[in-house]
Structure 1
Amino acid sequence: MARIFITGSADGLGRAAAQTLLGGGHDVIVHARGAERLTAVKDLIDQGASAVTGDLADLDQTRSIADQVNRLGGCDAVIHNAGVYTGPLIMAVNVVAPYLLTVLVEGPRRLVYLSSSMHLGGRPDVAGLGGNGQAAGSYSDSKLFVTALALAVARIRPDVRSNAVDPGWVPTKMGGPGAPDDLRLGHLTQEWLVTSDEPEALTSGGYWHHQQRRDPHPAARDRRFQDALLAALAAHVAG
């Protein structure tokens, strides 16, 4: 059984994936923004999940999250699930935090990054990721960036299976109760990619929707854009 770390697992798709993976006998590390949010995952902890806390919008707290996971012995897989849709923290939570956790968390050989079909409207311009502690961009930009990050990791680290997943428009707190897509399908692909030994699940560098490969924004596969993004993120977290 695998040990899987899931960011943003106090509610929504992250919690649903944690619940399913725990039920399948896997060792799950759940994540909540602060200690007060652990009440939302108490039932998962009671079932055997480990828990880490920290605000992914804050670089120091994100580093602390990585330290907490590493003190637990690292993990076999990470689902970078946490995300925000509006506000000034979009890039920090949706892009910078997954990058920093990718650099710092020890051990994973399977990585899944939550994307969105809205990434197709993103702009391949990293100017908003300066080294001045600020990160600006739209939700669509952030999902293009994190999709490119997933594919860049797949290219640079052939020992790791790294993929991006569009979960669809599902009825979560972010998606709203009227979302038309299937909630179960919204977290099935992530679970499959981090646990299955089926040949398709053992591939890397894919952009997936409901266990089917799709074509991402061309920039996500562009090596020059990937390299520019990685350089901007490295400068951002160092600055």
Structure 2
Amino acid sequence: MRILVTGSADGLGRAAADALLSAGHNVVVHARNEDRAAVLDSLADRGADLVVGDFSDREAVRRIAAELNVRDPLDAVIHNAGVWSGQAVMPVNIIAPYLLTALLHGPQRHVYVSSGSHFAGRPSLAGVDWQGRTAGSYSDSKLFVTTLAAALARLHPELLSNAVDPGWVPTKMGGPGAPDDLDLGHQTQEWLATSDQAKALTGGGYWYHRKRQQPHSAVNDHAFQDQLLQALAEETGTPL
């Protein structure tokens, strides 16, 4: 399978890309700039393809989608890229995965990396700064991307769309004291992107270590899903 892993220069994204390569898959890795891309040389030497672009810039996201659409078709995308704080939260954590979902041709599986923090998100779109002119709420962004995964599964049942809570793991974002298992933190994404097991061939799930969990109640609220998709379509000028 050919799989794009966004945000794969370090942390969970790099671990997933490494494991997928080792399993014999065709992997596309992503870094936000050329300096970050240099740390992916070892994966490129093993056959990984590479795309470079800053996901806080939606035009860079569009360029990456256009580049990928003229290369070999993708089978799956692990939407892993994310930031914890600052002005890039909404552009990177929800605008970029939305645009990639809307623009990429072919992927039948979409795996969105969520967080247990989504339970603290507010199911309201009032006053959301999608362009990142002010600092965004990480919890809100993860509620939105989890809702995007569920909405895609409802509206396009021919696709396998799921969200994953990787746990609080010791990455650069999670910090060295994070209590969860780093290896378990990326295995569910890989499984959903590649497995032919019956449980993995389902959509609309919110997963933690290969077990479906109940997400925030707003995630499966069809009215909220529709409001979110309408807001994202209007903001980006790109319908799903």
With the length of structure 1 as denominator, give the TM-score of the two structures. Answer: 0.96
Give 5+ residue unaligned stretches, structure 1.
none
Structure 2 residue 126 is the aligned partner of structure 1 residue 120: no
Measured in 1, the distance between the counterparts of 2:134 and 2:104 equals 22
SS at 1:78's partner residue? strand
Deviations 1:36-82 (A, max 9, x none): 22111000000000000101001100101111211222300000000
Measured in 2, the distance between the counterparts of 1:118 and 1:192 equals 22
Structure 2 residue 31 is the aligned partner of structure 1 residue 32: yes
Alignment of 1:137-216 (within 5 A): 137-216=136-215
Structure 2 residue 223 is the aligned partner of structure 1 residue 229: no
* Cα distance change on mapping 1:232 and 1:135 into 2, 3 Å: farther
Measured in 2, the distance between the counterparts of 1:75 and 1:134 equals 33
With the length of structure 2 as denominator, give the TM-score of the two structures. Answer: 0.96
Measured in 2, the distance between the counterparts of 1:147 and 1:132 equals 19
| One-letter amino acid of the counterpart of residue 159, structure 2 | V
* Cα distance change on mapping 1:163 and 1:23 into 2, 3 Å: same
Measured in 1, the distance between the counterparts of 2:126 and 2:67 equals 32
| One-letter amino acid of the counterpart of residue 235, structure 1 | E
Kindly indicate whether the alpha-carbon contact (under 8 Å) linking 2:93 and 2:141 is maintained by their aligned counterparts in 1: yes
Kindly indicate whether the alpha-carbon contact (under 8 Å) linking 1:165 and 1:190 is maintained by their aligned counterparts in 2: yes
| One-letter amino acid of the counterpart of residue 100, structure 2 | L
Deviations 1:159-201 (A, max 9, x none): 1000000000000000011111000000000000011111000
Q: Post-superposition shift, 1:209?
A: 0.3
* Cα distance change on mapping 1:118 and 1:132 into 2, 3 Å: closer
Deviations 1:87-141 (A, max 9, x none): 0110110001000000001110010001000100100111244687858641000
* Cα distance change on mapping 1:134 and 1:74 into 2, 3 Å: farther
Alignment of 1:36-185 (within 5 A): 36-129=35-128, 137-185=136-184
Counting aligned pairs with the same residue, the percent is: 60
Give 5+ residue unaligned stretches, structure 2.
none
SS at 1:56's partner residue? coil
* Cα distance change on mapping 1:59 and 1:32 into 2, 3 Å: same
* Cα distance change on mapping 1:41 and 1:216 into 2, 3 Å: same
Of the structure 1 ranges 63-72 and 88-97, higher mean CA displacement relative to structure 2 is found in 63-72
Measured in 2, the distance between the counterparts of 1:132 and 1:94 equals 12
* Cα distance change on mapping 1:196 and 1:123 into 2, 3 Å: same
Kindly indicate whether the alpha-carbon contact (under 8 Å) linking 2:86 and 2:134 is maintained by their aligned counterparts in 1: no
Q: Would you say how many aligned residue pairs link Structure 1 and Structure 2?
A: 238
Of the structure 1 ranges 63-72 and 225-234, higher mean CA displacement relative to structure 2 is found in 63-72
* Cα distance change on mapping 1:143 and 1:92 into 2, 3 Å: same
Measured in 2, the distance between the counterparts of 1:128 and 1:74 equals 37
Measured in 1, the distance between the counterparts of 2:127 and 2:55 equals 18
Kindly indicate whether the alpha-carbon contact (under 8 Å) linking 2:164 and 2:189 is maintained by their aligned counterparts in 1: yes
RMSD of aligned C-alpha atoms? 1.5
SS at 2:3's partner residue? strand
* Cα distance change on mapping 1:177 and 1:131 into 2, 3 Å: closer
The answer for the alignment partner of 1:7 in structure 2 is: 6
